[in-house]
Structure 1
């Protein structure tokens, strides 16, 4: 089945940009004094947030072009990798930062936080498996409960990392 590609949802895009703008204002208004005292520039955090916002918008525009149906095959491998990484963080392989071991890396170089991968992998995995098992979703015990179990395992592994900030 070939899907007809329509235009992007303009209302959703404008809403997201509006929320982004409000967020930028909030970052500036809540951090200007701290930034001025610490870094001598009241706009320090605001400028950093703008840079990351531009990167995020670029990522959004790139992601819009991806055919998400082709990502279905990555759901299970991504979930397995995320679970392995979450387990590795609570072993001595996890890198401690500010009293919390939430990172994986090489030596003292932090590469990534597995909880971020787990967020994406969980969404992909649950969407894929729910799509395949849509007929079971009407029965709580067979349809919903297994997914709650999966979420409990992931949340449990994340909760084992101290300081959830």
Structure 2
């Protein structure tokens, strides 16, 4: 009887702790960290599952690509810790410079320096180094949006202040990524733009038509690509 009496009390206590955690100012931070850890774990398992046979045949080590993935994750974790130490004012000053750098790198991808892999031109080769400017563009877009909306923070109730310069200049980054036929990264950048608009309080009457137009564009891009239609058919 004692255990039966304490069980509801214990569950009530756990529920109260969860409610208190959700109401704390650090709740969004914990939510993001937990989401990242879950996604990272799933990603490593998927890489291992998808590449182990190929890695064993080509590298004689089934864990070769999974270990590389973990190494990049560790480097990204260190970079994230460094970013956390940078004051917000310093990050906001980087807003426009990183946006301009992202645009310049994405334009360079469309030049002979760009490398096409599996039909997508989204790699940039400079000497012996190859990297994806679109990955940098994701981070640059978030930092840039934080900078511009900090300046506009008292005027975000005005539709024009919400849309400009986010839609034209954020749309430029999206257009440059799509010009390289990288639909997957384009979808992520489009989602970043929509989520930022939602976070700053854009009304649903604006977001719903915008989302519908984006869905139509995605359908058009998929329909116009034989390889993407082939993936859907499979």
| TM-score computed with the length of structure 2 as normaliser | 0.56
Q: How far did residue 111 of structure 1 move? A: 4.6
Q: What residue number does 1:70 align with?
A: 90
Gaps of 5+ in 1: 1-5
Match of residue 115 from structure 1: 134
- C-alpha distance in structure 2 between counterparts of 1:100 and 1:21, whole Å: 27
Q: Residue by residue, what CA displacement relative to the aligned partner does 1:85-114 show, whole Å, maximum 9, x if unpaired? A: 22232234x23243554344445x345432
**1:54 alignment partner, SS class:** helix
1:55-107 Cα offsets, whole Å, 9 max, x none, are: 22222333322223212111112212222222232234x23243554344445
1:24 equivalent in structure 2: 44
CA RMSD of aligned residues (A): 2.7
SS of alignment partner, residue 115 of structure 2: strand
State which drifts further: 95-104 or 77-86: 95-104
Change over 3 Å in CA distance of 1:137–1:23 after alignment to 2: same
Determine which of 123, 132, 144 is the counterpart of 2:162.
Answer: 144
Q: Does 1:129 align with 2:154?
A: no
TM-score (norm 1): 0.75
The answer to which of 35-44 and 119-128 deviates more is: 35-44
Q: Which has the larger radius of gyration?
A: 2
Contact (CA 8 Å) 1:31, 1:45: kept in 2 or not?
yes
SS at 2:172 equivalent: helix
> Number of paired residues?
155
Distance 1:119 1:82 in 2: 9
Whole-angstrom CA distance in 2 between matches of 1:151 and 1:63: 22
Q: How does 1:49-128 map to 2 (within 5 A)?
A: 49-92=69-112, 94-98=113-117, 100-107=120-127, 109-128=128-147
Residues 109, 115 of structure 2: 8 Å contact kept: no
CA–CA distance in structure 1, aligned partners of residues 131 and 56 of structure 2: 29
Which blocks of at least 5 consecutive residues in structure 2 are unaligned?
Answer: 1-25, 185-234
More helix per residue: 2
- Inter-partner Cα distance in structure 2 for 1:85 and 1:12: 29
TM-superposed CA distance for 1:138, in Å, is 1.6
Higher RCO (C-alpha 8 Å, min separation 6): 1
Counterpart in 2 of 1:3? none
Give the direction of change, closer, same or farther, for the CA distance of 1:89–1:128 in structure 2 (3 Å limit): same
Decide which moves more: 122-131 or 94-103.
Answer: 94-103
C-alpha distance in structure 2 between counterparts of 1:82 and 1:12, whole Å: 25
